[in-house]
A and B are shown apart, each in its own frame.
Chain A
Amino acid sequence: MFVEFTLNGEKVSAEISGETTALALLRENFDLIGAKEGCGVGECGACTILVDGVAVNGCLYLAGKLDGREVVTVEGVGGEDALDPLQKKFMEHGAVQCGYCTPGMLLSAKALLIRNPKPTLDEVKVAISGNLCRCTGYTPIVKAIMAATEEGK
């Protein structure tokens, strides 16, 4: 089947099979490797992407459903010269160790801030509760997100 969607602000299209996941499509066809596979069953959040501003698990989301939608990956959140406040704060607060969970964490946080620019601490925690991190213990990640919201205020 043929899909056409907006990817990090650009119109793109691809010919895919019915079972292709959004994660596979982005990684293989577009070499956007920020989204990772950590479990393949919707439990770890490493594959998180934004579809129409909502965080979804790319490993479960069928690529065919992307048709006509707006997709943002971590590469579209901000590049080296135009970092999003979230990315900056992740760097400053030690929220990145191995970095495998980082793109997913950033996108779950981003989705939260899109719908709620001034979240409470608890809202931040709930927003990233589907994203596993085995390195940081989460404390630095939560601090980084809170700091980014403060900056936005």
Chain B
Amino acid sequence: MSSLEKVVGVDGDRRDTLSKVTGRERFSGDYKVPGALALAIARSTEAHALIKNIDSSKAQALPWVVRVFTARDVPGENSYGIIPITKDQPMLAEGKVRFKGEAVALVAAETLEAAREAAALIRVDYEPLKASFTPEEALADGADKIHEKGNLCFEHDSLMGDPDKAFAEAAVVVEDTYTTSSIEHSYMEPESGFAVMEDDIVAVTVSTQNPHYDHADLCRLLGLENDKVRVKQATTGGGFGGKLDLSVHSYVALATLLTGRPSRLTYTREESFAASAKRHSFTMKYRTAADAEGNLLAVDAELIADTGAYASYGVAVAMRAAVHAAGPYMVPNSRVYSRAVYTNHVFSGAMRGFGVPQVALAHESQMEKIAAKLGIDPIELRLKNALKPGDKTITGQVLGDSVGIRECLEKIKAVRDGWGAAADDPDCFRGIGVGAMLYGIGNTGVSNPSTAQIRVNEAGGVTLYTGCADIGQGSDHALLAICAETLGLSREDIALVRADTKLTTNAGATSASRQTYISGNAVKDASEKFMAKAIEETAKITGKDIADLCFTGTGVKGAEREVTLTEIAESLKEQGNELIGEGYFDPETVPLDHHTGQGKPYSTYGFAAQLTRVHVDKATAEVKVEKLFAVHDIGKAIYPQGVIGQISGGSAMGVGLALMEEFDHASDKNFDTYLIPTVLDVPDVEASFIEHAEPTGPYGAKGVGEPALIPTAPAIVNAISDAVGVRITSLPANLERVHRALQLMGGK
């Protein structure tokens, strides 16, 4: 049905919510898989050790056990990882283990109980090596090498202008060291998937953000050609970056390939905690210089991140943190040195923001210190330095038109003035804090294209094919809106085939806040090409002029009658052609120079500012976030409720980062000790956005998934400092740290 109404910017009904509220939606673990083998993994009990021997005889002898697999059974290359230069992770440990919880052997059995019992019976002889649990330990002389190339996983340098001169001439220099904690993604659905043979193809259905990358790594691990592996994304219960890495995929694929039988594996929460990526903990040494009026002159930052036992996204995190080290401000001179270091912790990977939430704590704290020294209002100081269109970032990139940070700051200033003074309370201190950020949309300084296709379906309508994994955030709904708007249809008119490597082509990962912008553009391109092709062919069929024909959604209309899409498709088919729109988009980037870090890492940026009011209980040191106002420049809201949902969810995660979450590698096994925010820990988030249209974005859109989280923790920490007069430089600002702050100052 053709509709003249706009679709972009209208919420509409998501097609997944009805089945989700009625409990009928099937996630990977909800499928019945007849005849499936149950799998269990024997995991390392050592943090760093050589494997001398693996004895699986007792396990193998148990009734119901079908087979035990070790590294020797991996048919392809036993190394994977998202970034081509750091494929350093084995699916089953080979010769040594590098973290406690690493997979050493895999058991396939007829029942889950048998598989687990057998896994517990596998005996591994270890020869312990010296383990390193901090980057400092790992880089110290005498540390045992975790990988052959040494313990420095990656380093990145960035230099602009003459920072030394700027520091020497500055009216004010502030410096401090900031640290952030390791964090568990805590998606509510633990990793899960199953595999079946479809003829000679290993077909894996799995919870993932990354079907096409998964596919490539599975082919590598299994030693199979591209067309012998299929990855289908099941409905996925959150990801936040943690489902970009392979998890259960390789185990179900291996077991099914080698036994010919279906197999399934769902991690327990304990297993998910032990064996899935974490947010990198960072230590950040910052010096920032400004003139007497508060104009920023220079930033010097040294960043060091614990990337754990394997690289995963470590390279991307260290690089992105460096690029964003100065925040959304114009800084003419800068030096940044960023490193990701291997340790014997479970690997760190991508988590919402890729290192930017970490550096945001540092640059936003530095802004407050400068404001205090110069006696300038913190929002005014930010406004004075906020990036404008045409300004240069610290990578030397000249910004385009869509730079909404000033408007965001103006808005929070008005909101702050509106909040006024909170009622006096003798039992607590109150404070207000600001956080601001910029965030590059897409991968850093590399090509990261997306593709999409539109075809005619059997019903004579159109089907959108996209490789983009919707992990709950609603990308399906946004992409359908872009498709519908372009074709002049409504979302309901369009069928969707999504995230199945057999049927769809690569859209890149659902990460880096890139899908609305990059896949959105690919979908728009596909839609436009589809229409153009349909019109062109109709002109041939009817002998009419292209200018006299218009696309109706169900066909193409000339003067007399509508030629249906099916007719057009038939006509093309007879000529050995197809009615298809093939879309492509790759954001324009320039790789970062190896020595200076200069380049154009992203083609566009999101911007945001958030404002919080906290109260700090004088007796208990408990911090409560009373209010949180967020405003984000997202270019254009394709699906406004989704944008608000991202901001509200991201801010809640930011509250966890700020006040609660610190993954203790030794003791946190489940949500009984690792606490994430409940409804009682978060404020009612007042989320809003501004639309500074991005000329290269689909209908002006940029991205919001990660920006949502980034300003929250700095705003909260700044509010605590405003309340008690002491700056907390290590996250989380938990009871212990706030208590110490209260003791130091006794409040304002």
Residues on A lying within 8 angstroms of B by beta carbon are 27, 31-41, 43-44, 46, 73-75, 77-80, 83, 87, 90-91, 94, 96-103, 106, 125-126, 128-142
Least Cβ–Cβ distance between B378 and chain A, in angstroms = 25
Bound CA–CA A25/B472 (angstroms): 27
Any A CB within 8 A of the CB of B21: yes
Bound CA–CA A63/B263 (angstroms): 27
- The 0/1 profile, CB within 8 Å of A marked 1, for residues 247-274 of chain B is 0000000000000000000001100000
Q: Which of A40, A75, A98, A135 contacts B22 (CB 8 A)?
A: A75
Q: Which of A75, A91, A135 contacts B472 (CB 8 A)?
A: A135
Least Cβ–Cβ distance between A17 and chain B, in angstroms = 11
Least Cβ–Cβ distance between A130 and chain B, in angstroms = 8
Least Cβ–Cβ distance between B32 and chain A, in angstroms = 7
Bound CA–CA A80/B190 (angstroms): 27
Residues on B lying within 8 angstroms of A by beta carbon are 11, 13-14, 16-18, 20-27, 29-30, 32, 185-190, 235-238, 240, 268-269, 471-474, 641-642, 644-645, 647-653, 670-672, 676, 678-680, 682, 684-685, 687
Contact B269–A40 (Cβ < 8 Å):
yes
Give me 6 A-to-B residue pairs in the complex whose CB atoms sit less than 8 angstroms apart, sorted by A's number.
A37-B190, A38-B190, A91-B18, A96-B17, A99-B25, A126-B680
Contact B21–A87 (Cβ < 8 Å):
yes
Q: Beyond A74-B21, A91-B18, A96-B16: 19 further Cβ-contacts under 8 Å?
A: A31-B32, A36-B30, A38-B190, A40-B670, A44-B269, A75-B22, A77-B22, A91-B14, A96-B20, A98-B187, A99-B235, A102-B21, A132-B678, A134-B188, A137-B645, A137-B682, A137-B685, A138-B679, A139-B682
Contact B188–A100 (Cβ < 8 Å):
yes
Least Cβ–Cβ distance between A60 and chain B, in angstroms = 12
For B27, the chain A residues whose CB sits under 8 A away are 36, 100
Q: Shortest 6 CB-CB distances between A and B: which pairs?
A: A34-B23, A98-B472, A99-B20, A100-B237, A137-B652, A74-B23
Bound CA–CA A43/B13 (angstroms): 31
Bound CA–CA A83/B22 (angstroms): 8
Q: Knowing A38-B269, A132-B671, A139-B685 are in contact, say whether A99-B472 is a contact too (CB < 8 A).
A: yes
Q: Knowing A87-B21, A102-B20, A134-B240 are in contact, say whether A97-B671 is a contact too (CB < 8 A).
A: no
Least Cβ–Cβ distance between B42 and chain A, in angstroms = 20
Q: Which of A37, A90, A125 contacts B680 (CB 8 A)?
A: A125
A39, A80, A130 — most chain B CB neighbours (10 Å):
A39
Bound CA–CA A103/B650 (angstroms): 22
For A103, the chain B residues whose CB sits under 8 A away are 23
Contact A38–B22 (Cβ < 8 Å):
no
Contact A135–B238 (Cβ < 8 Å):
yes
Contact A134–B671 (Cβ < 8 Å):
no
Q: Which of A87, A100, A131 contacts B238 (CB 8 A)?
A: A100
Contact B682–A134 (Cβ < 8 Å):
no
Q: Which of B18, B671, B684 contacts A139 (CB 8 A)?
A: B684
Bound CA–CA A34/B23 (angstroms): 4
B187, B189, B676, B685 — most chain A CB neighbours (10 Å):
B189
Bound CA–CA A141/B21 (angstroms): 12
Contact A91–B13 (Cβ < 8 Å):
yes
Q: Which of B188, B190, B641 contacts A132 (CB 8 A)?
A: B188
Give the residue name and chain of the B residue nearest to A44 (CB).
Answer: B671
Contact B269–A39 (Cβ < 8 Å):
yes
Bound CA–CA A34/B471 (angstroms): 18
Least Cβ–Cβ distance between A105 and chain B, in angstroms = 10
Contact A98–B671 (Cβ < 8 Å):
no
Bound CA–CA A101/B23 (angstroms): 10
Q: Knowing A38-B188, A39-B670, A98-B188 are in contact, say whether A134-B676 is a contact too (CB < 8 A).
A: yes
Give the residue name and chain of the B residue nearest to A79 (CB).
Answer: B22
Bound CA–CA A125/B679 (angstroms): 6
For A83, the chain B residues whose CB sits under 8 A away are 21-22
Least Cβ–Cβ distance between B468 and chain A, in angstroms = 15
Contact A137–B23 (Cβ < 8 Å):
no
Bound CA–CA A133/B648 (angstroms): 12
For B13, the chain A residues whose CB sits under 8 A away are 91
Contact A87–B472 (Cβ < 8 Å):
no
Q: Knowing A39-B269, A41-B671, A90-B17 are in contact, say whether A136-B648 is a contact too (CB < 8 A).
A: yes
For B26, the chain A residues whose CB sits under 8 A away are 33
For B14, the chain A residues whose CB sits under 8 A away are 91, 96
For A130, the chain B residues whose CB sits under 8 A away are 678
Q: Which of B20, B21, B32, B186 contacts A134 (CB 8 A)?
A: B186
Least Cβ–Cβ distance between A101 and chain B, in angstroms = 5
Least Cβ–Cβ distance between B179 and chain A, in angstroms = 24
B26, B30, B651 — most chain A CB neighbours (10 Å):
B30
Q: Knowing A94-B645, A140-B645 are in contact, say whether A134-B22 is a contact too (CB < 8 A).
A: no
Least Cβ–Cβ distance between B617 and chain A, in angstroms = 18
Bound CA–CA A73/B21 (angstroms): 11
Bound CA–CA A126/B13 (angstroms): 29
Bound CA–CA A135/B678 (angstroms): 12
Contact A99–B16 (Cβ < 8 Å):
yes
Bound CA–CA A103/B23 (angstroms): 6
Q: Which of B11, B188, B650, B685 contacts A101 (CB 8 A)?
A: B188
Give the residue name and chain of the B residue nearest to A38 (CB).
Answer: B188
Bound CA–CA A135/B189 (angstroms): 11
Least Cβ–Cβ distance between B630 and chain A, in angstroms = 10
Bound CA–CA A98/B24 (angstroms): 13
Contact B652–A99 (Cβ < 8 Å):
no
Bound CA–CA A130/B186 (angstroms): 15
Contact A41–B670 (Cβ < 8 Å):
yes
For B642, the chain A residues whose CB sits under 8 A away are 94
Q: Which of A37, A91, A135 contacts B21 (CB 8 A)?
A: A91
For A138, the chain B residues whose CB sits under 8 A away are 648, 652, 678-679, 682
Bound CA–CA A133/B240 (angstroms): 13
Least Cβ–Cβ distance between B225 and chain A, in angstroms = 33
Q: Knowing A34-B23, A106-B21 are in contact, say whether A134-B679 is a contact too (CB < 8 A).
A: no
For B645, the chain A residues whose CB sits under 8 A away are 94, 97, 135-137, 140
For B682, the chain A residues whose CB sits under 8 A away are 137-139
For A99, the chain B residues whose CB sits under 8 A away are 16-17, 20-21, 25, 235, 237, 472
For B672, the chain A residues whose CB sits under 8 A away are 41, 43
Bound CA–CA A129/B681 (angstroms): 9
Q: Knowing A36-B189, A94-B642 are in contact, say whether A137-B25 is a contact too (CB < 8 A).
A: no
Contact A97–B474 (Cβ < 8 Å):
yes
Contact A97–B679 (Cβ < 8 Å):
no
Give the residue name and chain of the A residue nearest to B644 (CB).
Answer: A94
Bound CA–CA A134/B268 (angstroms): 17
B18, B188, B236, B680 — most chain A CB neighbours (10 Å):
B188
Contact B650–A43 (Cβ < 8 Å):
no
For A90, the chain B residues whose CB sits under 8 A away are 17, 21
Q: Knowing A31-B32, A34-B23, A99-B17 are in contact, say whether A141-B679 is a contact too (CB < 8 A).
A: yes
For A87, the chain B residues whose CB sits under 8 A away are 21-22
For A136, the chain B residues whose CB sits under 8 A away are 645, 648-649, 652
Least Cβ–Cβ distance between A59 and chain B, in angstroms = 10
Q: Which of A43, A126, A134 contacts B187 (CB 8 A)?
A: A134
Contact B679–A40 (Cβ < 8 Å):
no
Bound CA–CA A99/B25 (angstroms): 9
Bound CA–CA A130/B30 (angstroms): 23
Least Cβ–Cβ distance between B600 and chain A, in angstroms = 32
Least Cβ–Cβ distance between A57 and chain B, in angstroms = 12
Contact A75–B676 (Cβ < 8 Å):
no
Contact A80–B684 (Cβ < 8 Å):
no
For A96, the chain B residues whose CB sits under 8 A away are 14, 16-17, 20-21
Bound CA–CA A41/B471 (angstroms): 25
B11, B21, B474, B641 — most chain A CB neighbours (10 Å):
B21
B237, B642, B682, B687 — most chain A CB neighbours (10 Å):
B237
Contact A142–B679 (Cβ < 8 Å):
yes
Least Cβ–Cβ distance between A15 and chain B, in angstroms = 17
Q: Which of A36, A40, A80 contacts B18 (CB 8 A)?
A: A80
Give the residue name and chain of the A residue nearest to B669 (CB).
Answer: A41
For B189, the chain A residues whose CB sits under 8 A away are 36, 38, 98, 100
